[in-house]
C-alpha cells in the first residue's frame, strides 16, 4: 500500500512541476510583451511571477527527494 501512495505523490509532484514550467513560460512571455509596451508595473509583476515559478519548479523536486531519502 505504501508503494501506491509513493506513486501517487510522484504523480502530483510531477504534475505540479509541469504546471510551474508552463506558468514560468507564460509569465516570461508576458514580461516581454509588457517590456515592449513600456508598462512598468506589469513588467515588475510578471518578472517576479516568472522568477517565483522558476524557483519553485527547481526546488520542489529537490525538497521532495530530500524528504523521501530520509
Task: Please give the Cα distance from 18 to 69 (Å, whole number).
Answer: 22
Q: Which one-letter DSSP state was computed for residue 23?
A: H
Count of helix runs (H) and strand runs (E) in the chain = 2, 0
- Average pLDDT on 34-52 reads 97
The residue range of the domain holding 27 is: 2-69
- Output the average pLDDT for the chain: 91
Residue 29's pLDDT band, with cuts at 50, 70 and 90, is very high
In the chain, the number of structural domains is 1
pLDDT exceeds cutoff 80 at 8: yes
Which is more confident, 18 or 65?
18
Q: Which residue has cell 524557483? A: 55
Amino acid at each position: 500500500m505504501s508503494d501506491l501512495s509513493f506513486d501517487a505523490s510522484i504523480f502530483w509532484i510531477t504534475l505540479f512541476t509541469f504546471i510551474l514550467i508552463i506558468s514560468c513560460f507564460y509569465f516570461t512571455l508576458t514580461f516581454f510583451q509588457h517590456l515592449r509596451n513600456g508598462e512598468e508595473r506589469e513588467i515588475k509583476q510578471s518578472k517576479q511571477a516568472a522568477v517565483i515559478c522558476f524557483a519553485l519548479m527547481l526546488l520542489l523536486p529537490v525538497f521532495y527527494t530530500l524528504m523521501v531519502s530520509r
